[in-house]
A and B are shown apart, each in its own frame.
Chain A
Amino acid sequence: GAGVSQSPSNKVTEKGKDVELRCDPISGHTALYWYRQSLGQGLEFLIYFQGNSAPDKSGLPSDRFSAERTGGSVSTLTIQRTQQEDSAVYLCASSLDVGELFFGEGSRLTVL
């Protein structure tokens, strides 16, 4: 079956531009997570969606970051006015309630 799909797999942008990263979770998974992985760093939590509940945005590093999840399925992470320190791999994961997270392969963002 299909796993978590992320697009684009690679994105190079100029400082100051906006970017959108997309995540298609596994069908039926109610929970969706965004994490950021910088070079040599661990997985930094960004935002969590669970069903129809209000998202947990406690990990977003600044107000330039936002995310939405439409119809309880596809999610989009938006970074406005990108900075060089935003360069990282952005990982999306989904899960059935509590338990194993299924990760996508990530979107590698490079800000020049």
Chain B
Amino acid sequence: GENVEQHPSTLSVQEGDSAVIKCTYSDSASNYFPWYKQELGKGPQLIIDIRSNVGEKKDQRIAVTLNKTAKHFSLHITETQPEDSAVYFCAASKPGGSYIPTFGRGTSLIVHP
């Protein structure tokens, strides 16, 4: 089955700095890569996603890049703010009879004011 590795497990930055979280996946058939943000005491919420037919997608301060050849994708957050502090999860899934995302282990992002 699919295996998703996520690094780093913890990331501490100063407000205004950029943050980058990286994920690798194992199944070359995977074609959908969402990123979720989980705030304390809440369920994860989708913040951005990318499909395998594009290499980059941007939404204001967040962007995701995908390298299909190397089977890795990354989340980039620019001009970080304290409210960006949360746990971020990457995931990968592939088409088929069922659609079950495999999640990475999460990155705890701490933005210091």
Pick 17 A–B contacts, CB within 8 A, sort by A.
A4-B43, A33-B100, A35-B103, A42-B6, A42-B103, A42-B105, A43-B103, A43-B106, A45-B100, A45-B102, A50-B98, A91-B44, A98-B32, A100-B49, A101-B36, A101-B101, A106-B43
Known: A31-B99, A100-B34. A43 touches B89 (CB 8 A): yes
Q: A4-B43, A42-B89 are in contact. List 9 more A-B contacts (CB 8 A).
A: A42-B106, A45-B103, A50-B98, A91-B44, A100-B49, A101-B36, A103-B45, A104-B43, A105-B42
Closest A residue, CB atoms, query B32 = A98
**Residues of A in contact, count (CB < 8 Å):** 23
Q: A109 at the A/B interface (Cβ < 8 Å)?
A: no
Give the interface size bracket for B toward A.
20 to 34
Q: Can you list, as one digit per residue, whether each of B46-80 has a CB less than 8 Å from chain A (1) or not (0)?
A: 10010000000000000000000000000000000
Q: B113 at the A/B interface (Cβ < 8 Å)?
A: no
Nearest-Cβ distance from residue B46 to partner chain A, whole angstroms: 5
How many angstroms from the CA of A93 to the CA of B46 in the assembled complex? 12
Nearest-Cβ distance from residue B95 to partner chain A, whole angstroms: 7
Task: Decide if B89 touches A56 in the complex (CB within 8 Å).
Answer: no
Q: Which residues of A (85-104) have their CB < 8 Å from a CB of B?
A: 91, 93, 95, 97-101, 103-104
Instruction: Please list the residues of chain B having a beta carbon within 8 angstroms of any beta carbon in chain A.
Output: 6, 32, 34, 36, 41-46, 49, 89, 93, 95, 98-106
How many angstroms from the CA of A48 to the CA of B102 in the assembled complex? 12
Q: Which of these, A48, A91, A97, contacts B43 with CB under 8 Å?
A: A91
Enumerate chain B residues within 8 angstroms of A95, measured Cβ to Cβ. Answer: 99
- 7 residue pairs, one from A and one from B, having the closest CB atoms: A103-B43, A42-B105, A43-B103, A100-B46, A98-B99, A42-B103, A103-B44
Enumerate chain A residues within 8 angstroms of B99, measured Cβ to Cβ. Answer: 31, 50, 95, 97-98
